[in-house]
Chain A
Amino acid sequence: MNTSDSSHANRLNVLIVDDDPIAIEMLDYFLQEAGYNVERAANGKQALEKMRTFSPRIIISDVEMPEMNGIELCQTVRERHSTQYTYFILLTCHSDLKSVLLGLDSGADDYLSKPFHHEELRLRLEGGRRLLMLEGRDMMIFSLAKLAESRDTDTGTHLERIREYSKVLATELMNWPKFECVVDAQFVELIYLTSPLHDIGKVGIPDSVLLKPGKLTSEEFDIMKRHTLIGGETLYASANAYPEAGFIKMALDITLKHHERWDGTGYPFQLRGEQIPLCARIVAIADVYDALTTKRVYKDAYTHEEAARIIYDSRGTHFDPDLVDAFANVEEQMRAIRTRLDDAPPVASPTQPEKKSQETELMSASFTSS
Chain B
Amino acid sequence: MSTTNAEIHTIPPIFDREGFLLRCMGNQALAKKLAVVFAGTLPKEQRDLHSAIETNELDQVRRIAHRVRGTAKNICAVPLAEAAFLVEHAAEQRDVALLYTHLESLKKQVEAILDELASGA
Contact = CB atoms under 8 A, between A and B. Distances in A.
Interface in B42-71: 63, 66-67, 69-71
Interface residues of B, number: 19
A64 B23 contact: no
Interface string A18-58: 01111101100110010000000000000000000000000
Task: Report whether over half of chain B's contact residues are helix, strand or loop; otherwise say mixed.
Answer: helix
B37 A29 contact: no
B37 A21 contact: yes
A263 to B, nearest CB: 62
Q: A interface, how many residues as a size bin?
A: 10 to 19
B18 to A, nearest CB: 15
Contact of B74 (A19, A23, A33, A64): A23
A23 B34 CA distance: 9
B25 A64 contact: no
A93 interface: yes
Interface in A308-322: none
Contact of B23 (A21, A26, A33, A66): A26
B94 interface: no
Contacts of B37: 21-22, 25
Nearest to B62: A64
Interface of A: 19-23, 25-26, 29-30, 33, 62, 64, 66, 92-93, 114-115, 118
18 contacts: A19-B67, A20-B67, A21-B37, A21-B41, A22-B34, A22-B38, A22-B75, A23-B71, A25-B33, A25-B34, A33-B25, A64-B66, A93-B70, A93-B73, A114-B70, A115-B23, A115-B70, A115-B74
Interface of B: 23-25, 27, 30, 33-34, 37-38, 41, 63, 66-67, 69-71, 73-75
